[in-house]
Amino acid sequence: MDDQLGKFILIGFVLLFGVLGWRAWQVKQASPQWPTVEGEMLQARVFAANQTGDARGEPVHQWQTEVVYEYHVNGQRHVGKRLRALGRHHFDQASAMQEIAPFQVGMKVKVYYDPAEPTSAVLIPG
């Protein structure tokens, strides 16, 4: 019985990640044609993720970016948290910092939003 439950849970996770991956791919393909509005950056940061030790016992990081921005569509305020459709992992802090350099707190930014679902938006289309 427990073996069957484990199989169902595994299948559920595979399906969930498949749907999320498919949706991200759709956003990647469609976002360059989405309309744009001006938004404002509320947060932009770089952080270390997945710290592990290398052969010498020194910490090794993957670096990720996190952004939060607000924008208005048809008079309604929305908050976006996606830089691009598919997240990107960086192997050094400098490349992560370079990616978010154009998106500093308080700056005005171009927000690409899905006209069918304005809550879905990105700052870097494609």
Percentage of residues of the chain with pLDDT beyond 90: 52
10-residue mean pLDDT profile of the chain (126 residues): values are 72 67 72 96 89 60 91 97 84 91 97 96 94
- Give the angle subtended at the CA of 93 by the CAs of 89 and 97, to the nearest 5°: 90
What pLDDT is recorded for position 28? 75
What pLDDT is recorded for position 33? 93
Parse the chain into domains and list their residue ranges: 2-122
pTM: 0.75
What pLDDT is recorded for position 6? 73
Q: pLDDT by residue (tens digit) across 88-120?
A: 778 888 999 999 999 999 999 999 999 999 999
* Residue 87 DSSP one-character state: -
Structure tokens at 125: 């289309």
CA distances from 94 to 31, 47, 52, 53 (A): 27, 11, 19, 20
Q: Could you tell me the end-to-end alpha-carbon distance of the chain, in angstroms, rounded to an integer?
A: 45
